[in-house]
A = this chain, B = another copy of it.
């Protein structure tokens, strides 16, 4: 279910955080669902338990999952909202990137198409229906 690239410059635990959030957004991981246990993921990914723990801990901090000692780690009910809010707070970084693209002379239409594509496909993939209309502005 999860895949990590040990060669990547991106830390393993961040890759894991990203993937969990992505799966939540895609509706593959649903609210209140249990995510794989630290130990099981540790063996299936051949990654040290501490690293998995760190990833889950970060997701807990972000409010995407909540972990109950002795029971497991679960997707929180407002995981999608929390992820969205976080993305919103980091829009500054996105703006910076777009400006660099513009400055570098990348065709505006090309960038716009990127956006169009993303929102068309997003509407198609997202089967979580009722919740997906709560746009974050």
Interface of A toward B, CB cutoff 8 Å: 6-7, 11, 18, 22, 25-26, 61, 66, 68-69, 71, 80, 83-84, 87-88, 91, 94-95, 97-112, 114-115, 117-119, 121-122, 125-126, 132, 134-137
Contacts and interface: CB of A to CB of B under 8 A. Distances in A.
Given A68-B6, A97-B94, A107-B137, A102 B122 contact: yes
A111 B98 CA distance: 10
How many monomers of this chain does the complex have? Answer: 4
Contact of A103 (B26, B71, B104, B135): B26
Contact of A25 (B7, B100, B107): B100
Which of A104, A115, A132 has its CB near the most chain B CB atoms (within 10 A)?
A104
B7 A68 contact: yes
10 pairs of A and B residues whose beta carbons are closest in the complex: A102-B122, A25-B103, A102-B118, A98-B118, A87-B104, A99-B118, A84-B104, A107-B137, A107-B135, A102-B119
A68 B83 CA distance: 26
